[in-house]
Amino acid sequence: MGNIKTILAGLSLTMAVGMPAVASDELTMVVGTYTDQSTSDGMYVYRFNQRTGKSQLVGDVQAGNPSFLMMNHDVNRVYAVSEYDDGRQGLGAFILNKKEGEMVLLGYQKCGTKATRPENKMPGAAPCNVMLYGGYVVTSNYNGGDISVFPIKEDGSVAPESQYFDMHREGSGVVSHIHCCQMTPDHQYMLANDLGNDCIWRFQVNDGKIFLSNPVLVYQAPKGTGPRHLVFNSKGNVAYLISELDGTVTVLGYSNGTLQELQRIQASKTRTLGSADIHLSPDGRFLYASHRLTDEGISVFAVDKKLGLLTKIGFQPTAAHPRNFAITPNGQFMLVACRDSHVIQVFKLNKKTGMMVDTKQDIKVGKPVCVQLAN
């Protein structure tokens, strides 16, 4: 790995990532769910008070398996996947009236429509993540092992798929599983985590009609680790990668489109599959990672402020199958979507120690998967 201090000293940053300003204690919260074999019928809009931890349901909209979603910067549009692998997979655009809590379907497009694939692998299957940047929405299609790009129209709806990338390596015998796409802090590249190929792909980001180009392998993880989600620190020079299949977190130095491994640490209590999501506290002092299946809970790490390296300091048990989770902008609460217990647990965060306390203010909803917050 090389000398860590030397590596970090050489890392440069074109654009720092700042934390969002807190305008109000009342947040808009949109929750994505699985609707199959569930009491849920789509997405739900709540008011969440980040000072008291109390929530209020204010609206909902019907949608099929809207497991992951993102709100736009103006918080008046929501983009949500339809996580299917039977031909119904796609991306929906919704109008959000955050004042009234109302959501209305604006339009829908299918994933993988431009693909030519083997008969046993459906293009665009099981989209599980959404990325917004500029005038585009990008879906990460897990079962399809591919990536779909959709231009955003003036009214906020999405045009048909404009780019499609099949990340399967011919002759490798390995099936690609794209789990998450996100921009680098300098806005020059997009990274795609490939759980199947145990790697991270890098795409050049362009202005104009061709949004993404030149996919290359930028980081090869150890075989069988399963890269899933990634989060950057506020300086933009360190990234934290959660691996689903072995429960590790890898610390990666970032500079000018390159990733260099600095540390790998066991996050789950046992070395087993099921790790899911990863986030930093708003002040960057603590890192949290969720684990499902065998280890049901959240790992807590202290972050070294100079080097960005991790020290594990705790583990908080949760209800069954914690997936995505969100931390309020003021750093006081964490909301954990526990799919198989049909609740979103609300934890109080100790800003000094990083540890969590269950407030017992559970939000009951069928098969919650994704929690997104906005002022």
Identify the pLDDT of residue 116.
62
Identify the pLDDT of residue 64.
98
Task: Report d(CA 290, CA 303) in Å as an integer.
Answer: 17
Structural domains present in the chain: 1-12+224-375 (2.130.10.10), 63-220 (2.130.10.10)
Task: Report d(CA 121, CA 145) in Å as an integer.
Answer: 9
| 3-state DSSP of 131-174 | EEECCEEEEEECCCCEEEEEEECCCCCECCCCEEEECCCCCCCC
pTM for the model stands at: 0.93
Identify the pLDDT of residue 7.
46
pLDDT tens track, the chain, 375 positions: 445 544 444 444 433 333 344 458 999 999 999 999 999 999 999 999 999 999 999 999 999 999 999 999 999 999 999 999 999 999 999 999 998 999 999 999 999 987 766 556 789 999 999 999 999 999 999 999 999 999 999 999 999 999 999 998 876 778 999 999 999 999 999 999 999 999 999 999 998 889 999 999 999 999 999 999 999 999 999 999 999 999 999 999 999 999 999 999 999 988 888 999 999 999 999 999 999 988 899 999 999 999 999 999 999 999 999 999 999 999 999 999 999 999 999 999 999 999 999 999 999 999 999 999 998
Q: Coil, strand, or helix at residue 321? A: coil
Identify the pLDDT of residue 271.
82
As a 3-state breakdown, the chain gives helix, strand, coil percent values, each rounded to 5, of: 0, 50, 45
Which DSSP string corresponds to 187-232?
A: SSEEEEEETTTTEEEEEEE-SSS--EEEEEEEEEPPTT--EEEEEE
Tokens of 255: 């500079």
